[in-house]
Amino acid sequence: MNFNPHLRYNKRNMMLRSLPRTIGIIGGGQLGRMMIYRAKKLGFRFAVLDEEGAPAESLADVFIRGSLKDALSLRRLARAADVLTYEIEHINTAALEELQEAGTLVFPSPASLKIIQDKLLQKQLFVKNGIPTAAFFTEESISAGGLAKGKFPLVQKARREGYDGRGVRILRSAADTPLPAASFFEELVDIDRELAVMAARARDGSVAVYPVVEVTFNAEHNICDTVIAPARIDEKTAARARRIALDVVAALDGVGVFGVELFLDKQGRVLVNEVAPRPHNSGHYTMEACLTCQFEQHVRAVAGLPLGDAALLRPAVMRNLLGQPGSAGQPVIEGLYEALGVPGLSLHLYGKAETRPFRKMGHFTVSAATVEEALEKAESLRPILKIKGIPECAGIRAGEIV
């Protein structure tokens, strides 16, 4: 067979021309912002839909101001992009289905998103596919005898719109007031530690899985505080967690990066808690600690490119920078100079114009030779690096360093 380098060159160019040039992101929060600045190196343009002032607005090639639930705004984004993805789940899925039927590429699919938007449907999908999860009860199954007949304690979870600890309530007795929302009830797992895995699946079905990480939460607000990579667990447990995460993504027929949250209970069971169809807080560490970060990986997957290597380069600890309690207004960064002098530290500020108590304003990652060393450095920064809010009339500009 004769080798024709010119023909091979042309075929390659034809393939490259078939790739999307503009990625449309539904949602312009910090995840969209990081997706743009970590995947821009691949040569894509980015169109973003969100409200004015969203963190990704200043980085987008095209920014469309509008609601994520407005069908007209979603159609405008589709016209500006070659493929659509999203960085938040609270979207008009009916409009996305219409766009998909009209020929717009949407990844992950609207069908996957509809399941993920309803946490009860998630749970039912796990059971249907033999994926281990905590025992749960629907409102209908428990309402016949009332909550008094339930086996307390129970965890009540709102079916929709819950995130960052919202929409979850622990009921320890029938006297506790339940959430006023369509819900289901779950056994209270005797948790040893909470884990997470970022798993990626390409359009052709190929997969990449990141290391298992350990996640700790703010006890008062149940919001992610710290991510430790890799998790301090044995390899057998880690392998089981990675396999379960890939099973979840396959059950959803997902394309993109998925954040799979898990419980490791005190009996050694690994149970799926829930899943996010996008880059996730528990994967931020990958920007410094992995060969291919979660944001680039997501863009590769939805654009039809091969997945990158998800290997961990060195241990890392990520910590969220939350708005300080009792503090609101224009953000002021405290301790920045001292923090940036710490070896192995990388800081990400989200560009939000206003801080509120426990609002995610940024994060930092510390890489080190060992998990223990990274943890020690991250812990030393807790009393130093803070984001506080001041009233606009105080005469200090937003984002000013003090």
Does residue 235 fall inside a structural domain?
yes
pLDDT at residue 150 in the model? 56
- What are the pLDDT tens digits along the chain (402 aa)? 333 333 333 444 444 456 779 999 999 999 999 999 999 999 999 999 999 999 999 999 999 999 999 999 999 999 999 999 999 999 999 999 999 999 999 999 999 999 999 999 999 999 999 999 999 988 666 654 455 555 788 888 999 977 666 788 888 887 887 888 888 999 999 999 999 999 999 999 999 999 999 999 987 777 899 999 999 999 999 999 999 999 999 999 999 999 999 999 999 999 999 999 999 999 999 999 999 999 999 999 999 999 999 999 999 999 999 999 988 999 999 999 999 999 999 999 999 999 999 999 999 999 999 999 999 999 999 999 999 998 765 555 545 444
The count of C-alpha atoms lying within 13 angstroms of the C-alpha of 49, restricted to the half-sphere facing its C-beta, is: 28
pLDDT at residue 216 in the model? 95
Alpha-carbon distance of 228 to 353, in angstroms, equals 29
- How many CB atoms sit inside 10 A of residue 349's CB? 18
Are residues 284 and 296 part of one domain?
Answer: yes
Rg of the chain's alpha carbons, rounded to an integer? Answer: 22
CA dihedral of 244, 212, 31, 274, whole degrees rounded to 10: 40
Are residues 387 and 374 part of one domain?
Answer: yes
The CATH number covering residue 385 comes to 3.30.470.20
Are residues 333 and 384 part of one domain?
Answer: yes
pLDDT at residue 16 in the model? 47
The count of C-alpha atoms lying within 13 angstroms of the C-alpha of 232, restricted to the half-sphere facing its C-beta, is: 12
Are residues 169 and 87 part of one domain?
Answer: no
Location of structure tokens 């050694």: 268
Are residues 254 and 139 part of one domain?
Answer: no
pLDDT at residue 3 in the model? 32
Are residues 70 and 209 part of one domain?
Answer: no
- Domain interval for residue 306: 191-401
Are residues 204 and 334 part of one domain?
Answer: yes
- Indicate the pairing of strand 154-158 with strand 136-138: unpaired
Are residues 243 and 224 part of one domain?
Answer: yes
- Can you state the angle between helices 71-80 and 93-101, rounded to 10 degrees? 40
Which segments of 20-153 does DSSP mark as H helices, in order? 30-39, 71-80, 93-101, 110-117, 119-128, 139-143
pLDDT at residue 166 in the model? 76
Query: What is the DSSP secondary structure assignment for residue 58, as one 8-state letter?
Result: T
Contact 167, 179 (CB under 8 A): yes
Does residue 120 fall inside a structural domain?
no
Are residues 163 and 148 part of one domain?
Answer: yes
Are residues 372 and 249 part of one domain?
Answer: yes
Does residue 114 fall inside a structural domain?
no
Does residue 125 fall inside a structural domain?
no
Give the pLDDT confidence of 160-198 residue by residue, as tens digits.
977 666 788 888 887 887 888 888 999 999 999 999 999
Location of structure tokens 């690096």: 385
* DSSP per-residue letters across 283-344: GTTHHHHBSS-HHHHHHHHHHTPPPPP--B-S-EEEEEEEBPTT--BEEEEESHHHHHTSTT
pLDDT at residue 60 in the model? 97
The CATH number covering residue 90 comes to 3.40.50.20
Does residue 298 fall inside a structural domain?
yes
Are residues 22 and 90 part of one domain?
Answer: yes
- How many CB atoms sit inside 10 A of residue 229's CB? 28
Does residue 118 fall inside a structural domain?
no
Q: Is 268 left (phi over 0), alpha (psi -120 to 50) or beta?
A: left
Phi, psi at 128, each rounded to 5°: -60, -35
Contact 262, 284 (CB under 8 A): no
Contact 32, 295 (CB under 8 A): no
Location of structure tokens 């973003």: 48
Does residue 326 fall inside a structural domain?
yes
Structural domain count, the chain = 3
Are residues 71 and 140 part of one domain?
Answer: no
Residue 50 structure tokens: 């969100």
Does residue 352 fall inside a structural domain?
yes
Question: Maximum Cα–Cα distance for the chain, whole Å?
Answer: 81
